[in-house]
């Protein structure tokens, strides 16, 4: 019985907060990220805003990021990441590392990125580990799925509908898309029908 009351109270609290959050959220976050399917079809986006107001703006975790994000991910430079607001869910879980201080990360619409994924645009210089090599953009096509614990290395381009198996290390591009890749280094293990 108690869990039912908790669910009802959570629902009422979330729905009562939405009008207030609609007013105050644009003071703290870029309003172009407060749109899309997570804000219009349900209250999930507003729950992320409520959490992020506390963690990003008051506790200063990921304070430099202009959209609601989990306190348990790292984004080097939010100016170097392109994504559609419908895909804000990719920044709400744990362990992801978006290393993009010297090149762009482009995430195609409808792509899902699982927890603990690393997307890296610049490697360390092997002759001076305190320095980095010049960065190379990482581009992920539309409707891709990047499995848990995967790593995408600098310069990787994934075509549309590419599925990256969990734990894979993607060292080269698969620009044609419509494939499942897996392994270390990742290779095509299956083509998908188009």
Per-residue confidence at 10, pLDDT binned at 50, 70, 90? low
139 with 154, same domain: the answer is: yes
79 with 19, same domain: the answer is: no
Q: What is the mean pLDDT of residues 131-137?
A: 93
Give backbone dihedrals phi and psi of 77, rounded to 5 degrees, phi first.
-140, 105
Per-residue confidence at 27, pLDDT binned at 50, 70, 90? very high
Domain with 93 in it = 74-194
Q: Is the peptide bond before 185 cis (omega within 30 degrees of 0)?
A: yes
Q: What is the mean pLDDT of residues 76-92?
A: 97
Please classify residue 21 by burial: count the beta carbons closer than 10 Å to its beta carbon, then call 0-12 exposed, 13-18 middle and 19+ buried. buried
Starting from the edge strand earliest in sequence, which strands make up the sheet with 151-152, in order? 74-75, 97-99, 118-120, 151-152, 169-170
3-class DSSP assignment, residue 10:
helix
Per-residue confidence at 15, pLDDT binned at 50, 70, 90? low
User: Of 55, 71, 87, which residue sits at a domain end?
Assistant: 71
Q: How high is the pLDDT of residue 6?
A: 57
134 with 179, same domain: the answer is: yes
107 with 52, same domain: the answer is: no
Picking from 7-11, 63-67, 101-105, 114-118, which range would have the lowest pLDDT averaged per residue? 7-11
Question: CB–CB of 167/181 below 8 Å?
Answer: no
78 with 136, same domain: the answer is: yes
97 with 180, same domain: the answer is: yes
Token pair recorded at residue 72: 């348990």
User: Of 46, 71, 96, which residue sits at a domain end?
Assistant: 71
Q: What is the mean pLDDT of residues 17-29?
A: 90
| 64 a catalytic residue | no
Choice among 124, 132, 157, 161 that is catalytic: 124
Per-residue confidence at 20, pLDDT binned at 50, 70, 90? confident
Q: At what angle do helices 2-28 and 44-52 cross, to 10 degrees?
A: 70
168 with 184, same domain: the answer is: yes
Picking from 15-29, 112-126, 155-169, which range would have the lowest pLDDT averaged per residue? 15-29
Token pair recorded at residue 38: 């997570």
2 with 96, same domain: the answer is: no
Picking from 1-15, 43-57, 151-165, 175-189, which range would have the lowest pLDDT averaged per residue? 1-15
pLDDT, tens only, 95-117 = 999 999 999 999 999 999 999 99
Q: How high is the pLDDT of residue 18?
A: 84
138 with 184, same domain: the answer is: yes
39 with 105, same domain: the answer is: no
Q: What is the mean pLDDT of residues 151-175?
A: 98
106 Cβ contact list (under 8 Å, min separation 6): 81, 82, 83, 137, 138, 139, 140
């Amino acid at each position: 019985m108690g869990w039912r009351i908790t669910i009802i109270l959570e629902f009422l609290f979330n729905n009562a907060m939405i009008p207030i959050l609609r007013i105050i959220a644009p003071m703290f976050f870029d309003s172009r990220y407060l749109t899309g399917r997570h804000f219009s079809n349900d209250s999930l986006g507003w729950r992320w805003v409520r959490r992020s107001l506390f963690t990003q703006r008051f506790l200063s975790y990921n304070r430099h990021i202009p959209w609601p994000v989990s306190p348990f991910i790292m984004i080097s430079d939010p100016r170097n990441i392109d994504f559609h607001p419908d895909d804000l869910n990719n920044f709400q879980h744990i362990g992801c590392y978006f290393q993009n201080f010297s090149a762009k990360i482009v995430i195609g619409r409808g792509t899902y990125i699982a927890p603990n994924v690393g997307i890296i645009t610049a490697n360390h210089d092997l002759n001076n580990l305190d320095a980095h090599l010049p960065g190379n953009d990482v581009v992920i096509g539309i409707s891709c799925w990047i499995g848990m614990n995967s790593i995408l290395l600098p310069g990787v381009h994934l075509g549309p509908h590419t599925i990256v198996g969990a734990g894979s290390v993607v060292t080269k591009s698969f620009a044609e898309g419509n494939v499942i890749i897996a392994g270390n280094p990742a290779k095509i293990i299956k083509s998908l029908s188009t």
